[in-house]
Structure 1
Amino acid sequence: MPTYEGSDIQAAVNEGLQAMHLTREEVTVDVLEAGKKGFLGFGRRLAVVRLTPNEQPSQVKQSAPAPVEPTPTDNLTSTPQKRKSGAETEAELSAYLEAITAQIGTPVSIHVTHDHRSTTYHLKTDKEGLLIGKHGKTINALQYLAQTYFDHHMKGKQTIILEVGDYRQRRAAIVSHLADKAAREVVATGKPVFLEPMPGFERKIVHGHLATNHHVQTHSEGQGDRRSIVVELARTF
């Protein structure tokens, strides 16, 4: 029998029903591939089903419905996925990261470490610069996806960090240096300084680093990935 494809199982079934000019009650559905949404457009696979016309439509109601596996979108929001163990989620997330980095030409091996509030995935690769990207854009995008995946599958608050070599440590030092430089400029000129847009965890470094500087204060402005920190003179009352 012919097979039919779609973005998910239901779309594949609808495609087959339209081609065969039959209703759902007149066919038996065999799921050959549940499909996969993928990350960043990589690893995406279509759902594939086979539709077999029932010889006796009147008996359809007496037979058990064909098993239909949940689509990846269902997996992200269903209760069973929320109850996965930490070890299961860690292994699956490592597999996703390995697949994505292989697709973009930066294959990695992964070692995971834990502390009280964060889990760090150490990505070892021969192409560190390519994996990090300009100003950390590539590794930060992957970290956002990893955090989103973890939040969908696990209960409780845990920060997911992707590390390549000692990049996070070096970047924290650079961000702290930028914060100090901005503070000196603000004190010297009396004018606010707008830092380059940064992800939330880097803005947190700046806020914390300048919290003890009583001459300046900080706040964030902007939306999304264009959100940045403004350093200005501390208000006196």
Structure 2
Amino acid sequence: MKKIIASGKTIEDAVRQGLTELQVSAERVNVTVLEKPSRGLFGLIGGRAAKVELVLIPEAAQQPAVSVSAVSAASAPKADAPAPAVKDAKDGKDAILETERFIIEVARTMGLDITIARHDSRDGLVLALSGGGDLGMLIGRRGQTLDALQYLVNIVANRYSNSHLRIVLDAEDFRDRRRKTLEDLSDRLAGHVIRTRKEVVLEPMAPHERKIIHSQLQNHAKVKTFSKGDEPNRRVVITLK
């Protein structure tokens, strides 16, 4: 009984490669998935290709099987398109699982052992990180590392999902603490602008942090805010109305 092992970026690619090598149609083989594909760190390092085994069905055995297996064949996935594996890879739940695996892998490369808790928020699905070790390594100065990782996490999640997913990454309640810090800063700077009658230009901030400043002062009686500059150096300006 002839059989070969083929690989490819996806299971479908691997099956097509095997069919080409055997020079037969999908109905002439039995397919076993040996390894599902996986992405490496940051989608670049340590990725694994899909691997399948194709066993050629002898022609003599194929003829009587047509009528006997007609019902099961109609409900079974085709050998050249293993639907369950592909569907799973694009399922929202599996997209979150793949995203969490990615985060854990990144943390391990940094020597951190973390756990992840999920909860919904108005900004999206929050993945909250906790665990032993210095999670400050994942947060970085003023959350810059956490923001960069969140950007990568959203790329990973949406690679595995048919519908758009919005992931918010948090660690040790940093997001809430940072929001409170920015809100307090906004109020202090608004007072400074009123006293000195001079506008204040803040340091460059990420869009979601600028939004916190704007929201905090949008109903202020004496000052207003606007943003100026281009990313990544766009800044909030606080000035008198």
TM-score scaled to structure 1, two decimals?
0.66
Larger radius of gyration: 2
| 1:101-146 CA distance string (max 9 Å, x none) | 2244322023445667765443223121211134323322343455
Instruction: Pick which of 122-131 and 148-157 moved more.
Output: 148-157
Aligned partner of 1:219: which letter? S
Is the contact made by 2:89 and 2:95 (CA closer than 8 Å) also made in structure 1? no
Is the contact made by 1:111 and 1:122 (CA closer than 8 Å) also made in structure 2? yes
Structure 2 gaps of 5+ residues are none
For residues 39 and 200 of structure 2, the distance between their equivalents in structure 1, rounded to whole angstroms, comes to: 44
For residues 7 and 160 of structure 1, do their structure 2 counterparts lie closer, same or farther at Cα, with a shift above 3 Å needed?
closer
For residues 152 and 15 of structure 1, do their structure 2 counterparts lie closer, same or farther at Cα, with a shift above 3 Å needed?
closer
Is the contact made by 2:118 and 2:125 (CA closer than 8 Å) also made in structure 1? yes
Q: 1:172 aligns with which of 168, 174, 179?
A: 179
| Percent of matched pairs sharing the same residue | 26
Give the corresponding residue for 2:23.
22
For residue 127 of structure 1, give the secondary structure of its aligned residue in structure 2.
Answer: coil
Residues 1:75 and 2:89 aligned together = yes
For residue 42 of structure 2, give the secondary structure of its aligned residue in structure 1.
Answer: coil
Q: 2:55 aligns with which of 52, 56, 65?
A: 52
For residues 119 and 6 of structure 1, do their structure 2 counterparts lie closer, same or farther at Cα, with a shift above 3 Å needed?
closer
For residues 127 and 114 of structure 2, the distance between their equivalents in structure 1, rounded to whole angstroms, comes to: 11
Instruction: Pick which of 66-75 and 106-115 moved more.
Output: 66-75
Residues 1:102 and 2:105 aligned together = no
Is the contact made by 2:193 and 2:240 (CA closer than 8 Å) also made in structure 1? no
CA-CA distance at 1:8 after TM superposition: 0.7
Give the corresponding residue for 2:226.
218
Give the corresponding residue for 1:31.
33
Give the corresponding residue for 1:208.
215
For residues 75 and 187 of structure 1, the distance between their equivalents in structure 2, rounded to whole angstroms, comes to: 58
For residues 12 and 118 of structure 1, do their structure 2 counterparts lie closer, same or farther at Cα, with a shift above 3 Å needed?
closer
For residue 52 of structure 2, give the secondary structure of its aligned residue in structure 1.
Answer: strand
For residues 203 and 16 of structure 1, do their structure 2 counterparts lie closer, same or farther at Cα, with a shift above 3 Å needed?
same
CA-CA distance at 1:197 after TM superposition: 3.1
Is the contact made by 1:37 and 1:72 (CA closer than 8 Å) also made in structure 2? no
| 1:140-181 CA distance string (max 9 Å, x none) | 234345566389769899x75433224223322443455457
For residues 2 and 124 of structure 1, the distance between their equivalents in structure 2, rounded to whole angstroms, comes to: 45
| 1:57-81 CA distance string (max 9 Å, x none) | 99489473327155568733xxxx3
For residues 60 and 142 of structure 2, the distance between their equivalents in structure 1, rounded to whole angstroms, comes to: 62
Give the corresponding residue for 1:10.
12
Give the corresponding residue for 1:197.
205
Structure 1 gaps of 5+ residues are none
| 1:190-218 CA distance string (max 9 Å, x none) | 567253131x4322211112224332322
For residue 51 of structure 2, give the secondary structure of its aligned residue in structure 1.
Answer: strand
**Count of residue correspondences:** 222
